[in-house]
Structure 1
Amino acid sequence: GAGLSLAILGDVALAVPSAHFTAAYGMVGLTPDGGMSWTLPRVVGLRRAQEIILTNRRIGAEEAAQIGLVTRVVAAETLLDEGLAVAERLAQGPVGAIAGARALLAASMQNDLATQLDLEVVRIADAGAGAEAAEGIAAFAERRPPRFT
């Protein structure tokens, strides 16, 4: 239940092959909490969210990856290394641009296209005027990896 709510909050969610996900609330006479009723439909779609919550069907790791509940399945023995590699890649990337992209993605769920395009214009203009874009463009032009600080 609450574990599923936490798992779907991440931007990148890794699962081991033996993992499984169950809403579980209905089995004990409760309704979802932890934001599940808001997040789950946005992650897997309304129909799948309805099935997952209403039937308490157990979702295995491979199916979870197929329906977008998790990003990908990794071997249990590499989970920590894979998670750390994703975290390191994000931390060494253009964190301002990543934060802006996250904000745009979150806003897209309630905006119409015109509003979203307006937000994108503001975000890309702000990002383009920053040091991250200057470094990224210079690195691209010089055919070298960017060094974001």
Structure 2
Amino acid sequence: MTIPSRVYALSRSAAAEWLESTDTHRARRALESDLDFVADLHALEFPTTYATAHGLVHDPDLLTFVVERDGTPIGYASGHVTTDGAGQLDYMAVVPDARGVGDGHVLLAATLAALFAEADLDELRLAVEEHRKPAIRFYEKHGFTRVH
């Protein structure tokens, strides 16, 4: 069974202002020591996905970031540049009790900035399941527009 999803795009120019004004010091590339955290949150948020936490943390073709609060990981995001040179945000999740206070904004900014810089991209895309209304609102608030 396929879960209906929406595809969204974000241009570099639409993201430029808020990306440049966001302090991303609490976000960093994922480390081996983040593997258990990423695995637990990934299983909670994306239980039927093909991707593994090990791949998200170790695959050199993926840019996976973790955001911390008080030195503790509370969210991760992962994306890549496709073989045809397009940017793709694959996964993003923040622990439920840390949502709505700006940590996702920091995580998204760090991940998108790295992806835009990776291949000098003009646009990034993502797919989000239609039933994830808070995620859709979050992405739209950050300038993503629906393309499919």
Q: Which has the larger radius of gyration?
A: 1
Q: TM-score range by the shorter chain?
A: under 0.3
* TM-score after normalising by structure 1: 0.26
Looking at secondary structure, tell me which structure has more helix per residue: 1
